[in-house]
Structure 1
Amino acid sequence: MQNQASSDEFPPGTVLLIDRNRPTSEFILNPTPSDNPDDPLNWSSLRKAVNFGLTCTYVLFTFVLIDVNSLAYRGYIEELGLTYATFNEASGSNFAGLAVGCLLLVPCVHKYGRRPLYLISATVQFACAIWWANIHHGEELIAVSLLAGLSGSISEAVVMITVADLFFLHQHARMNGIFIFMQSLGTTGGPIAAGYVITSMGWRWMWRMIAIFLGVNLLLVLFFFEESKYIPTLIGQSTLSKDPENVKTKGDHEKGTEPQSAPSHLSIDSRPSRKSYSQRLALVTKADQPIIQHFYQPFIVLFTFPAVAFTALSFGSILAWFSANASAGSFFLIYEPYDFGPSAIGLFHLGGFVGCILATFTAPFFNDWLIIWLARRNEGIFEPEMRLWMMIPAAVLNAIGLLVFGIGLGRGFHWIILAAGQAIFGFGFIVTADAALTYLNDCYPELTQNDQILGDALIAVVFVRNGLAMVIRFSFTSWLAGMGIQHTFILIGVIAFATMTMPILLLLYGKKARVGTAAKYRKFASRHQVR
């Protein structure tokens, strides 16, 4: 059945999700898969699970690599004579690498495919972990942090492109939820294990253990991760047969006469053939298309389409507060009245980890169920703004979690109260990030059908996200020094609540904004080949 969302009857993002004219109220698959078995949308469940599972493993260890550095802070001071200013510069350089790297590397997925970027990133991350384990000067920490940020910069945009490659619209919230959970698992679960390693074996062995896992990850990607970039091709092979009686040799032609055209019979073999194992694991899947425009189009997309700007601000701000939250816990808990060692600080992250787990296994599934329920009540028509209802209670949870943690830390409350604040914020973080990213995927349908447009949008989102985190990271120390822990987190809680209530405006005016930008969007989408 032809999807009605592809017509001009609906604004971008509004799709007929449920066919109410059929007795079973069947789902209409968005995007529409082709007949080719190598189209990732047609892959078997096992094949998708392996590919997406490797993607999630890559995300997990990327954020372990990025976020365990603070646990070694005391070891850096004792062994390297590291100052807090240098450590702060190293953390800021990591976010700078994440921000700049997505601008430089993600456009390459359009030209060369997903697989080579995953391989390059996994290789450089493996090298960074080895370097981290062998640093001897504080300045090296800045350099390796920058390189780790550059290598991990594809871990958000390219992964979300992979989700769009493999899954349908009604599955996006669940898949994005799993991706965000693996991201937060690396951020919160990684320090739990790293703390014990530092306590028992030292901080250098923390990096050596990470290098071992990253080496295994590199081998898994090398031998099992398939290219998910699908380049549509004409399925079939033409066969040209000529009548032997009418075929003449060069000597048969008389002077001044034209050779006779041989009658031919053209047949098409329409049987699709699946690629071989070696073809599916090709190092490069090159497309015949320029990529120069993808280095500047992300900024055009950011300031043209409201959904992209909203996702960039909401996703970026919630992750910036997540970073500030984790940073404050890692640094202030080593002093009185807590006096936490590395293992205790690692265990403290268990609060946020529990909140993230609870949200991962409830919120995305409820969000997918909610849009189906709302679509049934709307004559089977799905509006992307239906995703945003989940963000309203999440805004309250985010603010409460930040306030409980910040005020408790400032007043020296029992660590269980601080961990409870982390858990509340962790739950709200997953709900917010999942809803925002899924809203972007759903708001403009060709984003999920064309990796070029989706890549531009996600580059913009990830650049803003890491740019905000970098600004917060560099200014956080001065902020704390000027206002104190308690008042800083009160202000953060207020700002977080204000930014996280933006969905109310989109629930009221989001569809009008999509209608108003529909012409620009369709003009932009028409420049690219769409599935």
Structure 2
Amino acid sequence: MRPEHPPGTIPLLERQAASEALKVVLVPHPSNDPNDPLNWNNWRKAFNYLLVLAATLASFTGIMIQPVLWPQMVEDMKMPITAFQHGQSANLAGLATGCALFVPLTIKYGRRSTYIASVAVMAAGCWWTARRTSYAEVILTSIIIGWAGAINETVVQMTIADLYFIHQRGRANAFYQLAVVAGGFLTPVAAGAQATAHGWRWCYYTLGITQTILAIVFLFGYEETKYNRVSNGLPDLQSSVQLDGVKTSLDQDQDLKEGQTDVQSEPGLAVSITEAEIPAPNTYWQRMRFVTTTPESLWRLFIAPVSVLFLPHVLFTAIQYSSSICWLVLYSATSPIIFSAPPYLFTASGLGNLLLGPLVGTIIGSAYAGILSDRLVVWLAKRNHGVFEPEMRLHLLLPVYFAMGGGLIIFGVTAAHGLHWIYPSIGGALFGFGFSAMGDITFTMVIDIYYELTAEAFVGVTFVRNAISIAMPFTVSPWLKNMGMANMFIVIGCLCFGIGMAYVPLLIYGKRIRTALGPRYYKLVEKRRFY
């Protein structure tokens, strides 16, 4: 791509020569190599991505079920609830540092080894958690589970970029968000019921068994999705984009018929090895190799996230996601305090059931952002002479932030006044809707713009998210005591909406920013590739 072309701006639609129908340009451009993950058939992609989603669900379950179990842990281990809040902060510290430490290794040595190690360590952490008896073990097991889950968000985004084209990523991210929120809101319901019937330790025994089985399945079933497109003679996403002809051809007739869109690769850009010998498909053992090494400089991979983080679109996503996680941590940490006391007096099972509201909201939010955003960008590209701009996805964010901020206020105010639990659940559902949709939209936008630096971008996003969240569990008790439940969540809701409105200037000026900083991005890509 020429330097004046901003990263992420691509021709998404082209008119077919023989008809009025439009075709969706496949970006990244697939090769003819059967080992290219973009060329895998649907069942093969689905199986590997399903394993990733299972690991995501299990990882977030291990992280998120603890607040539901705190009342039983307090009684069983004879510790104050603040000890487990400290454990939650230790977990967030593990998430923040683990991502920065382990993702560079994933970039250089492949996704498969990282997933296997992550699931295996998570299994060990769950087995140990089920047996812990001291404060030191609370902190250590929380850090280990944090380290094991640290790579999840970033490596999943890398996997989505490996497997799916640009017009499919919103839906892929929607399934990822569903797995995240199922681990955050659905499995705690089951954990609460199991804890009530058999005690909190059996929740972690069950999770340890599940993670152990999952580690074995990953070892023998998960394929490497890392594919070096440049070394295989393929144009990369940014260098292969030509915009001028696309705009001209679509300017000739803007009265395009709805629904006449099919999916093909761009002629002349499905460049690959068509003129050379097509490689044979890898054997099973080749697909199961533990590492896939490329020649990037490892030390540059460790420092690159610092530079990428300060690209405005990445920084915007980091701020939005980290603030949302702060609200989620406060929501999760206050629930057992408020709802285990009068007038609610919920057991562990009741605390788990309280998460059904956010679960319903997140399912709706994933459908809203995943399905609608992919369709919206095609429609908007059609109106924009066939050219896709990543900020097009941001048009969906206004109702998202209204729902998040309003949901938090409804939750806090109704719970503070002791209203029927259905009202706080409605607030939780609205928050869940916004949380899920926001993550899907902003994550997909970052992949769309900085495809070649996806990992570095999400290392920064995840580090900021967890680093900021570390302090949240420490603030819950004093904030709740000094301000009260209602006022506390009114402030949180207003902060949520105010921070969210930062999307407006990005929507207006985003392309100008990408154009101005495009040379910086391409320089970072070249440094990663050749040094």
TM-score, normalised relative to structure 2: 0.89
> In the alignment, is residue 48 of structure 1 matched against residue 58 of structure 2?
no
Equivalenced residue count is 486
Note the alpha carbon deviations across 1:362-382, whole angstroms, 9 max, x for none. Answer: 331011111111111111111
Structure 2 residue runs of 5 or longer lacking an equivalent are: 234-274
Of 10, 15, 21, the residue aligned with 1:20 is 15
The CA RMSD measured in Å over matched residues stands at 1.5
Q: CA deviation at 1:106?
A: 0.6
> In the alignment, is residue 348 of structure 1 matched against residue 354 of structure 2?
yes
Q: Residue 26 of structure 1 aligns to a residue in which SS?
A: strand
Distance 1:367 1:401 in 2: 22
> In the alignment, is residue 463 of structure 1 matched against residue 460 of structure 2?
no
Q: CA deviation at 1:324?
A: 1.4
Of 33, 38, 43, the residue aligned with 1:36 is 33
Q: Residue 287 of structure 1 aligns to a residue in which SS?
A: coil
Note the alpha carbon deviations across 1:242-293, whole angstroms, 9 max, x for none. Answer: xxxxxxxxxxxxxxxxxxxxxxxxxx97132111001101111122332111
Match of 2:268 in 1: none
Q: CA deviation at 1:7?
A: 4.2
The amino acid across from 1:34 in the alignment is: S
Distance 1:13 1:270 in 2: 32
Q: Residue 436 of structure 2 aligns to a residue in which SS?
A: helix
Match of 2:132 in 1: 135
CA contact (8 A) 1:81 1:138 kept: no
Q: CA deviation at 1:11?
A: 1.6
Match of 1:10 in 2: 5
Q: Residue 15 of structure 2 aligns to a residue in which SS?
A: coil
Match of 1:283 in 2: 290
CA contact (8 A) 1:307 1:440 kept: yes
Distance 2:2 2:29 in 1: 14
TM-score, normalised relative to structure 1: 0.89
Match of 2:307 in 1: 300
Distance 2:477 2:153 in 1: 27
Distance 2:471 2:508 in 1: 31
Note the alpha carbon deviations across 1:287-306, whole angstroms, 9 max, x for none. Answer: 23321112222111112x11
Q: Residue 209 of structure 2 aligns to a residue in which SS?
A: helix
Match of 1:257 in 2: none
Instruction: Say which one has the larger Rg.
Output: 1
Change (3 A) 1:290 1:525: closer
Q: Residue 527 of structure 1 aligns to a residue in which SS?
A: helix
Q: CA deviation at 1:9?
A: 5.7
Match of 2:188 in 1: 191
Q: Residue 14 of structure 2 aligns to a residue in which SS?
A: coil
Alignment of 1:23-172 (within 5 A): 23-172=20-169
The amino acid across from 2:425 in the alignment is: A
CA contact (8 A) 2:357 2:425 kept: yes
Q: CA deviation at 1:318?
A: 1.3
Distance 1:234 1:340 in 2: 59
Match of 2:272 in 1: none
> In the alignment, is residue 312 of structure 1 matched against residue 312 of structure 2?
no
Match of 2:500 in 1: 500
Distance 1:525 1:117 in 2: 23
Q: CA deviation at 1:398?
A: 0.5
> In the alignment, is residue 428 of structure 1 matched against residue 402 of structure 2?
no
The amino acid across from 1:373 in the alignment is: W
Distance 2:68 2:223 in 1: 35
Note the alpha carbon deviations across 1:382-401, whole angstroms, 9 max, x for none. Answer: 11110101111101011110
Distance 1:492 1:301 in 2: 29
Q: Which stretch of the first structure deviates more once superposed, 416-425 or 311-320?
A: 311-320
Note the alpha carbon deviations across 1:86-131, whole angstroms, 9 max, x for none. Answer: 1111010000000000010111012211111111111111111111
Of 355, 370, 375, the residue aligned with 2:376 is 370
> In the alignment, is residue 359 of structure 1 matched against residue 348 of structure 2?
no
Alignment of 1:189-338 (within 5 A): 189-232=186-229, 270-303=277-310, 305-338=311-344
Distance 1:271 1:517 in 2: 38
Distance 1:330 1:318 in 2: 19
Distance 2:52 2:491 in 1: 36
Distance 1:117 1:331 in 2: 37
Of 389, 396, 419, the residue aligned with 1:383 is 389
Distance 1:29 1:269 in 2: 22
Structure 1 residue runs of 5 or longer lacking an equivalent are: 1-5, 236-267
The amino acid across from 1:403 in the alignment is: I
Distance 1:286 1:119 in 2: 16
CA contact (8 A) 1:315 1:437 kept: no
